[in-house]
Structure 1
Amino acid sequence: MFNKVLIANRGAIACRIQRTLRELAVGNVAVYADADSASLHVQHADIAVLLGEGPATHTYLAVDKILRAARQSGAEAIHPGYGFLSENAAFAQACEREGFAFIGPTPEQLRLFGLKHTARALAKERGLPLLEGSALLADIDEALSAAQAVGYPVMLKSTAGGGGIGMRVCHGEAELRDAYDSVRRLGQE
């Protein structure tokens, strides 16, 4: 068991993790952006480390700042919560490289399951039950062909993105044509 865990997140998820760590008699370290200085996760922390000013890209997503906070606080492990860095294989690998346990999937698992088409191919290879679907689609013509084979309605899903980003229900060919480019763009952002 760890003595101290840094929570690389904010808000309700950070508070839930803090509560669990307290029940386990494990110390917690909160990180926060200047704008969140009065937040509950900061108030309830055993130790709180300021990441600086600015948006999440300069604070909660700044791997170097998170790792520095972990070193400064004496944390042994980092819990990413959800969102932010929780699905970032490079962050999980950086934690391991710097000697911190990453509380979550391994970097390899994050890489394998981070893209829907590779996760689907692996599940199919292992014989797991899957809904009807397709492999990665190169263009609209492949999408139309796959939809014809599966039957409408279909769910068009970007291979990247999470939390419903890049998902569109298409009830027919016209909707699929309309949705294809926007879903593809969302997955590339």
Structure 2
Amino acid sequence: MKKLLLILLCLPMIGFGQGWIKNFYDTPLDFPNVCNVVSTVDSGYAVFNYYGIIKTNALGDTIWTNQNYEGTKWGIQTYDGGYMLFGWFGLFKLDNLGSLQWSDSSIYVEPNTIDQTIDSGYVYTGTAGGNLKADEHLRVVRINSTGDTLWTCQPYPHDGNFDVEGTGKDVHQTNDGNYIVAGFKNISLSNYQNAFLSKINNAGDTL
């Protein structure tokens, strides 16, 4: 059996507090890599791993777990206090106790990250494409609060001349209601990659 290891160094505003380390053991954690961790509104933490989510209190003690979502790549806490898991098998919206509210398996990308938008919808990014590496390219997808697709966009035009066209690594909504996406794009006929940053408007058009 493998274990998850979470290390958080807690520094109070006055003086130096003592940090702590927590080990998480659970079946079926045969591949227990942590994707990311977020602070939650109750001052605890949500630890997202390949199989789902582990919810802890402020000291790292487990409150509940939901390990039914194999393939998770990223997770966030949503405005309603619930959670959104984004992974190889789709989107999974959970409530504040980890129960499933809705899911959508028809995602358009190999997943990387997801963020919530000001209207309680979501925007996510990753790599889209076919069976050949030359068909792969970056894509950004905007959905509403129940998972319906509003638009998709491809900041770089796909021309089929690259081994791997590119991928989106991170995306966020900006203060002006538009979107910023970061990722990389391969340089033609070489093994080098260009990092890039692209601004997209709220209709999915590159600015």
TM-score when normalising by structure 1: 0.30
Structure index of larger Rg: 1
Structure that is richer in helix per residue: 1
Structure that is richer in strand per residue: 2
Per chain length, whose mean CA-contact separation is higher, i.e. which structure has more relative contact order (CA < 8 Å, sep 6+)?
Answer: 1
